Chains A and B, each alone.
Chain A
Amino acid sequence: MKRRYFLGAMMAAITTGCSKLAETKPVAALLESSDDWHKAAHRLIGGRYSLAREFPPEDISPFFRGNGTIQPDSPKYLAHLANGFADWRLQVGGLVERPLSLSLAELHSLPQRTQITRHDCVEGWSAIGQWTGPQLGGILALAGLQDRARYVVFRCADRLGGDEYYESVDLIDAFHPQTIVAHSLNGHPLPVRNGAPLRMRIERQLGYKHAKYLTGIEAVESLDWIEGGNGGYWEDRGYHWYAGI
């Protein structure tokens, strides 16, 4: 019994020490920088466009769990929902030559990609589903990126704890062939809990990158001036911007 208390006391001391260390500037910076090294290593090993595994239909999980916002409650969203999203528009703007405002019908008329992929939540669980939609790269090509553009920001209709949800990726993930603006899950329009009517699929990264309830796509030069400045809702709350880990 005594030995167990000793082990517990040691662990508690380590816990306290680590917390104190993490409050100092250099250690905090070091801790937050590791996603850059992981990203560099991943792209060195696999190249920029390695493909996430695509599964056969029998691997699709019987249910696709929703997380974060599963029912946006703004009157505007509820009106769109009641209307079957007939007037939903996807705005494409920022550093582009030709800003676009696309209806769901227009998104359906673009070349479509269907993929059965695994969705990994940062919490640890996974679900497998079949997603359909146009490639983000095709939409960005229609709008024409300006030379200064370095990131693509996703704007969303949902709020979590009072703040707008948003996300961002760099141009490598934006133009990745499996990065699509999905309107369908398992052959049906997206359920509300999974992001109706549009959500992003960023297949080589964790679930929080896959922005739901998508209203806008914005090409930017820097993420510093957007919301909390870290490139995403969860990133502003301490999570890694590069979520391939």
Chain B
Amino acid sequence: MKRHTLATRLWHWLNVLALVVLFMSGLNISNAHPLLYWGKWGFEAKDAWLEVARFPGWATIPGYYSLAAARHWHLLFAWVFALSLLVFMIASLINGHFHRDLVTTRREWRWSAVRADIASHLSFDFHRAGSKFNFLQKLSYGFVIFILLPLMIFTGMALSPAMDANWPWLLDMFGGRQSARSIHFIVAWALLAFSVVHVILVLLSGPLGQMRAMITGGRR
């Protein structure tokens, strides 16, 4: 049995591609109106809770300020991002990945077990007894897959005036379009933070083997 199924590997790399393009084109879009608000409306600095820095060309797609071109990239890769996540979720329900690898047991939630897990993390010991992921891995992967990524999709849809007409509950769920826009921005940076920690941990735990496993599938 392979360590990572084909569905997981395909989704992982498609998701990397989509997140990179979405994040960098999103920074370009942010430059068009770098003010964030809470609530239903907001259009000037005095109502903003955050004035966002201008992002330099090397960090944006395209590499110069163009709201039109950035929206082309963003709204095309939104499809790649959302559909690949949907297919991965369905596949992981069918092939048992979620049930086998991500579901936590009651025992893992005990404080003594959590403390032991944190301690072994801090000493860079990523040995996993029995299951594929340790508790902190299950928790962070579960949080990203079931909360952060869907949040990006639904806050993104709440920014679309046509989707707001189709699904008005999107607005109620987030407390208005400008709140949805703020949450979209915050979660984007939370995903970047996750990705940085994720890559650092891969580098610390045998990067060649880890990369090979995520490409070829590896062995359990």
Contacts and interface: CB of A to CB of B under 8 A. Distances in A.
A128 interface: yes
Nearest to B68: A238
Interface of B: 20-21, 24, 29-30, 32-33, 35, 37, 40-44, 57-63, 66-69, 71-73, 75-76, 79, 159-168, 171, 177-178, 181
Nearest to B76: A34
A14 B24 contact: yes
A218 interface: no
Given A11-B24, A55-B40, A34 B162 contact: no
18 contacts: A12-B63, A15-B57, A15-B58, A16-B63, A18-B63, A22-B73, A37-B79, A51-B165, A53-B164, A118-B177, A121-B33, A124-B33, A124-B181, A125-B44, A204-B161, A240-B75, A244-B161, A245-B71
Given A30-B76, A120-B177, A121-B33, A245 B43 contact: no
Given A22-B72, A52-B164, 19 more contacts: A8-B58, A12-B58, A15-B58, A15-B60, A31-B69, A34-B76, A34-B79, A37-B79, A42-B160, A42-B162, A45-B166, A46-B162, A55-B40, A65-B44, A118-B41, A120-B177, A124-B35, A126-B43, A126-B177
A146 interface: no
Minimum-distance CB pairs A-B, first 9: A46-B166, A244-B162, A238-B68, A124-B33, A125-B43, A12-B58, A15-B63, A123-B33, A31-B72
Contacts of B162: 38-39, 42, 46, 50, 204-205, 244-245
B160 A123 contact: no
A205 B79 CA distance: 19
A237 interface: yes
Q: Give the contact-size bracket for chain A.
A: 35 or more
A50 B40 contact: no
A135 B189 CA distance: 43
Contacts of B159: 120
Nearest to B192: A7
Nearest to A64: B43
Contacts of A42: 160, 162-163, 166
Interface in A11-66: 11-12, 14-16, 18-19, 22, 30-32, 34-35, 37-39, 42, 45-46, 50-53, 55, 59, 61, 63, 65
Interface of A: 8, 11-12, 14-16, 18-19, 22, 30-32, 34-35, 37-39, 42, 45-46, 50-53, 55, 59, 61, 63, 65, 118, 120-128, 203-206, 234, 237-240, 244-245
B72 A32 contact: yes
Contacts of A22: 62, 69, 72-73
Contacts of A32: 72
Contacts of B58: 8, 11-12, 15
Given A126-B40, A127-B41, A18 B165 contact: no
Contacts of A30: 76
A8 B9 CA distance: 26
A18 B62 contact: yes
Contacts of A204: 161-162, 165
A34 B137 CA distance: 36
Nearest to A10: B20
Given A123-B67, A237-B68, A244-B160, A15 B40 contact: no
